[in-house]
Structure 1
Amino acid sequence: MKLIERYIAREISLPFTVVILILVGLFASFISARLLAGAVTETLGVSALLKLVFLKTLIALEVLIPIALYISVIIGLGRLSRDQELNIIRTMGVSGTRIVLTVLTVAIPVGLISGMLSSYVRPWAYAESYILDAQAEAELNTNRFQAGRFYGSEKTGRVVYVRSKNDTDKEMQNIFHYIKKKEGSEIVIAKQARQIQPSAKEERPHILLSDGVVYELSKTASIDDVIQFEKMTYFIDSDYVLNYRRKAATTRTLWESAQPRDIAELQWRLSRPLSAILMALIAVTFIRISPRQDKTERTYLAAALVFAAYYNLSGLARTWVEQGVVGSIPGVWWLDLLMLTGLGMYALLSNKKRLFARTQ
């Protein structure tokens, strides 16, 4: 790569590094605040919370990376345009085509990285996050409970309250446990409880309850059951079943499937590299080689609108394939073909304008 091309590539790469770090930091902060607001720390623990933030950030990289590339191209070439450096580069014999090719030397590797993340890292991150979510819903781990607080789950319909707790001997006093069931609901009230760790691998973890009452509330029966107990063992359902999740499925599994939803997910993953490269090329069109006046704010606004429209249409294209409105061919690719056609027409019109200007 020649000196001029390296210079242009550097003007794009440096903003890309800064922007992607800022976006990752903002996204991680947003996810952390959201999970903390949802009391995930109390349900899973701090280490699991940090892992979940990391996983969700990995998942978001397939979108954050194209955004960072798109912004960096506009910032880098925009600065060169405002400082008239692009005009000087043109007078040195560097054509617009060479500038576009230089942008592609940055966009193609970034697009390939985005594709690898989407095809391999993203499914793994989804699978791990689903496991953490399932653990949060399935486990009743008293070690994470704090006294005087309610712990609930909308999915399982479970509510737990512990009035006091001794962390030294793992004993709890005045326990309230509510669980919603298909046939009704169950309420367990006990004076004391202690979580017992299993002595053998095949034994499930359980909680030993003392001096309590069980209320079995039925939707169908006319009389509810009330059971008093001195000692009761409450087993913790630590086994959880993960249903098939296409976002967590391997790319090879999706490739072998004929289901429309699986096809849509597969095509979405495979289209990420092309999407990143397309957005970089679209960003180039917002930079005028010889601007007569600075229109930075207008350019940024138009670029933001185009980016938002493109990603909304991408989601719509995937939904159409999932619902069978559009077949596997053209699938989600029709939008990319439309964008490529638009870029090609823009290039032809630009060349015609230049030829017409030279003949005048």
Structure 2
Amino acid sequence: MKIIEKYITRELLLPFFAVISILVGLFVSFSTARLLTSAVTETLGMVVMLQLVMLKTIIALEVLIPISFYAAVIYGLSRLSRDQEMNIFRSVGFSDYRILYTVLMIAVPVGIISGALSLYVRPWAYAETYILDAQAEAELNASRFQAGRFYGSEKSGRVIFVQAKDDSGTRMEEVFHFTKKAGISEIIVAKEAVQQQQISLEQRPHTELFNGYIYRLAHPEGKDSAIQYEKMTYFTENDQVKWHRRKAASTRMLWESERPHDIAELQWRLSRPVATILLALIAVSFTRVAPRQSKSDKTFLVAAIVFAIYYNLSGLAQTWVEQQVVAAIPGIWWLYLLLFIIAGLLLPGLRQKLLRRQ
């Protein structure tokens, strides 16, 4: 790599690492604050909360990497242009095409990293996150309760009491569990309960109850009932199992599926490297500043608006595929074809070449 190309590479990578560090720091701070307010530390402990923050950050990298490189290209090339360094490069024969080529040589590896995260690392992170979330939200999660205290939820209408717990924290004694829904009150009491750990998404969180009773109280009309049991398995209700499986599904599984939701998820993952490269090309077009003229504030404002429009359209395109408003082909790819056309028209060298041909 020649001196000028190395210099431009450095001027792009330094702000890239700076921007992504700032965004990751902000995301970690936001995620930590959100989990603290949801009382996850009381449910699963500080260590698990930190694991959740790490996993959510890994998931977010597929978005943070493209926007960080997008901002880095705008900042780096704008500074070079503002300080007249671009004019010096051109005066020694370093054309706009070579500048664009240098940006692409960086954008392609960054896009590959973003794509690898989206295709392989992100599904694993989602799977681990859902397992931890399911454990945290389990109604009879032994880790949530201290012995000798009542726990209630206005949202679900539950009241839970545990008389004692063993040292492992998974075995409970003298359990009382009250729920009220659909006009029926249900009381479950058990001499002993053992929480079973969830080790995969296919396994639903559950607790095994021993030697107890189930009382169902129908009101204002109906018959009450009482059932005695020696062993009962209590499963946690989960209305989002399908959503979880799709987000955590392997890329190969999505590739073989013909369901619209799976197709939309697969196309989203495949689009990450494409988005990174096309956004970098569009970013190059924002960086031509006239001599002795600074318009950095305006440049970043327009660039931010463009990215916001793209990000909202990408979510809309995925939703259209999920809802079968748009077929699997073109799927979400119409948006990236549009980005490619915009990039081609905005890039000065390509635009001038097209005009000369006309």
Which TM-score bucket, shorter chain as reference? 0.7 to 0.9
| Residues 240-249 or 88-97, more deviating | 240-249
Quote the residue 2:201 is aligned against. none
Quote the residue 2:44 is aligned against. 44
Quote the residue 2:310 is aligned against. 310
Residues 1:280 and 1:16: Cα distance change in structure 2 (over 3 Å): same
Quote the residue 1:92 is aligned against. 92
Superposed CA deviations along residues 147-170 of structure 1, whole A, max 9, x for unmatched, are 65635496x7644256x8688798
Alignment of 1:181-260 (within 5 A): 184-188=184-188, 206=208, 215-218=215-218, 221-225=221-225, 237=234, 243-244=241-242, 245-260=245-260
Q: Partners in 1 of 2:177 and 2:59 — Cα distance? A: 35
Residue 55 of structure 1 and its aligned partner are, at CA, apart by 1.3
Quote the residue 1:33 is aligned against. 33
Residues 1:234 and 1:14: Cα distance change in structure 2 (over 3 Å): farther
Quote the residue 1:150 is aligned against. 151
Q: Partners in 1 of 2:69 and 2:150 — Cα distance? A: 45
Alignment of 1:130-141 (within 5 A): 130-138=130-138, 140-141=140-141
Aligned residues: 342
Q: Partners in 2 of 1:177 and 1:340 — Cα distance? A: 58
Whether the 8 Å CA contact 1:86–1:290 is kept in 2: the answer is: no
Matched, 1:321 2:321: yes
Q: Partners in 2 of 1:123 and 1:172 — Cα distance? A: 34
Aligned partner letter, 1:315: G
Q: Partners in 2 of 1:197 and 1:341 — Cα distance? A: 56
Quote the residue 2:346 is aligned against. 346
Quote the residue 1:281 is aligned against. 281
Superposed CA deviations along residues 277-318 of structure 1, whole A, max 9, x for unmatched, are 111111111111534421111111111100000010011111
Superposed CA deviations along residues 138-190 of structure 1, whole A, max 9, x for unmatched, are 46233442365635496x7644256x868879898997532356673313579
Quote the residue 1:201 is aligned against. none
Whether the 8 Å CA contact 1:261–1:321 is kept in 2: the answer is: yes
Q: Partners in 2 of 1:100 and 1:253 — Cα distance? A: 37
Unaligned residue ranges in structure 1 (runs of 5+): 199-203
Aligned partner letter, 1:179: T
Q: Partners in 2 of 1:308 and 1:77 — Cα distance? A: 21
Residue 128 of structure 1 and its aligned partner are, at CA, apart by 1.6
**3-state secondary structure, aligned to 1:150:** strand
Residues 1:142 and 1:258: Cα distance change in structure 2 (over 3 Å): closer
Quote the residue 1:330 is aligned against. 330
Residue 194 of structure 1 and its aligned partner are, at CA, apart by 6.3
Residues 1:107 and 1:183: Cα distance change in structure 2 (over 3 Å): same
**3-state secondary structure, aligned to 2:249:** coil
**3-state secondary structure, aligned to 1:247:** helix
| TM-score (norm: length of structure 2) | 0.82
Superposed CA deviations along residues 244-273 of structure 1, whole A, max 9, x for unmatched, are 421111111111111222111111111110
Q: Partners in 1 of 2:329 and 2:84 — Cα distance? A: 45
| TM-score (norm: length of structure 1) | 0.81
Residue 61 of structure 1 and its aligned partner are, at CA, apart by 0.7
Whether the 8 Å CA contact 1:153–1:159 is kept in 2: the answer is: no
Superposed CA deviations along residues 112-140 of structure 1, whole A, max 9, x for unmatched, are 00001111111111112122222233462
Q: CA RMSD in A?
A: 3.6
**3-state secondary structure, aligned to 1:261:** helix
**3-state secondary structure, aligned to 1:327:** coil
Alignment of 1:58-73 (within 5 A): 58-73=58-73
